[in-house]
Amino acid sequence: MEARIVKKGQLSELLDKLAQEYDLVAPVQEETLTFFRKVSGAKDVFLEYTNSDVSPKGCFLPQNEKTFNYTYTGDSLEIVKPGDEKKTVLFGARPCDARAITTLDPVFEGEKFGDEYYSSKRENTVIIGLSCSKVLSTCFCYAFDGGPCDGTGSDLLFTEIGDKYYVEVNTEKGKVLADKYSQIFSSQGADQLAKGKEEIAKKLAGEFVRKVDLTGVKELLDDNFELPFWNGDDYKKCIGCGTCTYVCPTCHCFDIFDHTIGDFNGARFRCWDSCMYPEYTLMAGGHNPRPTRKERVRNRFMHKLKYHLDRYNMVGCVGCGRCIRKCPVNIDITKIINDLKEVAQNA
Partner 1 sequence: MMGVIQQLREQAKKLLEEKKVDLVIGFGQGTELARTTPVFIDSPEGVSALTWGPFCANNLAKYLIDYKNAPGNVAVVVKGCDSRSVIRLLDDNQISRDKVVIIGVPCAGQLEWQKVAAEVKPGAGLKETADNGESFSVKTDAGDYSFNKKDYMLHRCLVCENPNPVISDITVGKELPVKNYEERFAEVSELEQMSTEEKSAYWDKQFSRCLRCYACRNVCSVCTCQVCVFDQMLPMWVSKRTNLSENTVFHITRAFHVAGRCVDCGECDRVCPMDIPLRKLNQLSPLGEFKPEDPEEFM
Q: Which chain residues interact with ligand SF4 by CB under 6 A?
A: 238-244, 247-250, 276, 304, 317-323, 327-329, 331, 333
Rounded to whole angstroms, the Cα distance separating 332 from 89 reads 33
Q: Are 124 and 24 in contact (CB under 8 A)?
A: no
Judged by beta carbon distances under 5 to 8 A according to partner kind, the member of partner 1, ligand SF4, none in contact with residue 249 is ligand SF4
Judged by beta carbon distances under 5 to 8 A according to partner kind, the member of ligand SF4, partner 1, none in contact with residue 320 is ligand SF4
Among 54, 184, 227, 253, binds partner 1 (CB under 8 A): 54
Judged by beta carbon distances under 5 to 8 A according to partner kind, the member of partner 1, ligand SF4, none in contact with residue 236 is partner 1
* Sequence-distant (≥ 6) Cβ neighbours of residue 89 within 8 angstroms: 18, 22, 23, 24, 25, 125, 126, 128, 177
| Beta carbon of residue 128, minimum distance to ligand SF4 (angstroms, whole number) | 20
For the segment 133-192, give every residue that binds partner 1 (CB under 8 A): 135-138
Cβ proximity to partner 1: between 63 and 192 the closer is 63
Residues binding partner 1: what is the number (CB under 8 A)? 47
Query: What backbone torsions phi and psi does residue 82 show, to the nearest 5 degrees?
Result: -65, 155
Judged by beta carbon distances under 5 to 8 A according to partner kind, the member of partner 1, ligand SF4, none in contact with residue 332 is partner 1
> Does residue number 33 form part of the binding site for partner 1 (CB under 8 A)?
yes
Cβ proximity to ligand SF4: between 94 and 122 the closer is 94
Q: Are 143 and 212 in contact (CB under 8 A)?
A: yes
| Cα dihedral across residues 89, 92, 97, 103: positive or negative | positive
Residue 344, classed as helix, strand or coil, is helix
Burial 35-54 (b: 16+ CB within 10 A, else e): bbbebeebebbbbebebbbb
Cβ proximity to ligand SF4: between 92 and 146 the closer is 146
Instruction: Write the Ramachandran bin of 248: left for phi over 0, alpha for psi from -120 to 50, otherwise beta.
Output: beta
For the segment 276-305, give every residue that binds partner 1 (CB under 8 A): 277-279
Closest among 249, 253, 300 to 95, alpha carbons compared = 249
Judged by beta carbon distances under 5 to 8 A according to partner kind, the member of ligand SF4, partner 1, none in contact with residue 306 is none
Residue 213, classed as helix, strand or coil, is coil
Cβ proximity to partner 1: between 181 and 235 the closer is 235
| Beta carbon of residue 273, minimum distance to partner 1 (angstroms, whole number) | 7
342: Cα within 13 Å, side-chain hemisphere: 9
Task: Note the residues at the interface with partner 1 (CB under 8 A).
Answer: 30-33, 35, 53-54, 63-64, 135-138, 207, 209-210, 233, 236-237, 239-243, 246-247, 255, 257, 259, 269, 271-274, 277-279, 324-326, 328-332, 334-335
